[in-house]
Amino acid sequence: MSHHLTESVRAEAADVRRFWEGLGLPGLVDVHTHFMPERVLRKVWAYFDALGPLTGGVEWPITYRQEERERAELLREFGVVAFTAMLYPHKPGMARWLNDWAVDFARRTPGCLHTSTLFPEPGAEGLVRDAVEAGARVFKVHVQVGAYDPADTLLDGAWGVLAEAGVPVVIHCGSGPAPGKYTGPEPIARVLARHPRLRLVVAHLGMPEYEDFLDLAERYPEVRLDTTMAFTDFAERMVPFPRRALPRLAGLGDRILLGTDFPNIPYPYLHQLQALERLGLGPAWLRAVCHDNAARLFGLRGNESGNGNGRGRGNGAVG
């Protein structure tokens, strides 16, 4: 382990590894981690520090402010065998240069699933097609920050490309931590009505509209949900998951994926794992959520590093 990492971080890494080793897993797959150009990430952190409106006015100390290389190394020390670089534009013209950055980041970062993004603008379909052909294995869409309707006709062709390619899309479309004009289940339900095979991964279990997004997952077999921040003490204080819906979560056990929001979380990484464990849904559910479901979705082979160099449309498409 690098000498850059502190003793407390080393101790946490050991605890995280004990968690997945105890489940008999080869490691974790985390579908919701943020890596982006440093100046963009610093602006995101400044926004959290200033309690910007989209934080819901809640204090949000960032736990992992290390340099990029150390953050990626820390995920490897945790035993995260594959992770994403969730990046997103907030205005036209940004998506292409973010995608260009992401190509290089995936190439130089072992374990990173090559991540791309999009925005409703002329040429969106071509941009998405270019990214898929360059080997993108997952897309990130942030309806809240981008402040756009995901059912905008400018995106219709892009959704079609992604549905046909079988490339998953992690989408923040719930109204937490603060609602936006186009957040909530209705806009994304319109997208799914037109593109029912689209592999959407609803971030944060759709908080706070948990049950509405469980409805969509039960209606569309390619819809999945990630666990990002859900069930943690931090989230439960603000938007508790309704306990009556736990059996539905168990029933969708093959379509729930581990996500954490690393590094932008106000608590240790380990806490997300412990929060899932204390739900009491059992070790088989935890194994599926923490590794197997995402490994199947992304076509990971064994301890594949996920360096994003695989090309073309078949990436991650199974079944």
What pLDDT sits at residue 33? Answer: 98
What pLDDT sits at residue 196? Answer: 98
What pLDDT sits at residue 301? Answer: 80
User: Of 147, 293, 126, 298, nearest to 224 (Cα)?
Assistant: 293
pLDDT greater than 50 at residue 20 = yes
pLDDT greater than 60 at residue 92 = yes
Q: Where are the alpha helices (DSSP H) in the chain?
A: 7-22, 38-49, 68-78, 94-108, 124-133, 143-146, 156-165, 185-194, 210-219, 233-238, 246-251, 269-277, 283-287, 293-297
What pLDDT sits at residue 304? Answer: 59
What pLDDT sits at residue 4? Answer: 66
What pLDDT sits at residue 48? Answer: 94
Torsion of CA 310, 313, 315, 316, to 10 degrees: 170
What the block records as the tokens of 211 is: 């049950």
The one-character DSSP state at 202 is E
pLDDT greater than 90 at residue 316 = no
Tell me the mean pLDDT in the region 298-313: 52
Over residues 143-194, the pLDDT tens digits come to 999 999 999 999 999 999 999 999 999 999 999 999 999 999 999 999 999 9
pLDDT greater than 70 at residue 249 = yes
Quote the pTM value: 0.93
What pLDDT sits at residue 59? Answer: 92
pLDDT greater than 90 at residue 97 = yes
Q: Of 32-41, 117-126, 232-241, 297-306, where does mean pLDDT reach its minimum?
A: 297-306
Over residues 77-88, the pLDDT tens digits come to 999 999 999 999
- Residue where the block lists tokens 């960032």: 62
| Sign of CA pseudo-dihedral 229, 35, 315, 144 | positive
Mean pLDDT value across the chain: 93
pLDDT greater than 80 at residue 305 = no
Over residues 116-149, the pLDDT tens digits come to 999 999 999 999 999 999 999 999 999 999 999 9
- Gyration radius (Cα) of the chain, Å: 18
Tell me the mean pLDDT in the region 250-273: 98
Determine whether 156 is exposed, middle or buried from the number of CB atoms within 10 Å of its CB (0-12, 13-18, 19+): middle
pLDDT greater than 60 at residue 313 = no
Over residues 183-226, the pLDDT tens digits come to 999 999 999 999 999 999 999 999 999 999 999 999 999 999 99
User: Of 1, 175, 135, 134, nearest to 79 (Cα)?
Assistant: 1
**Strand, coil or helix: 80:** strand
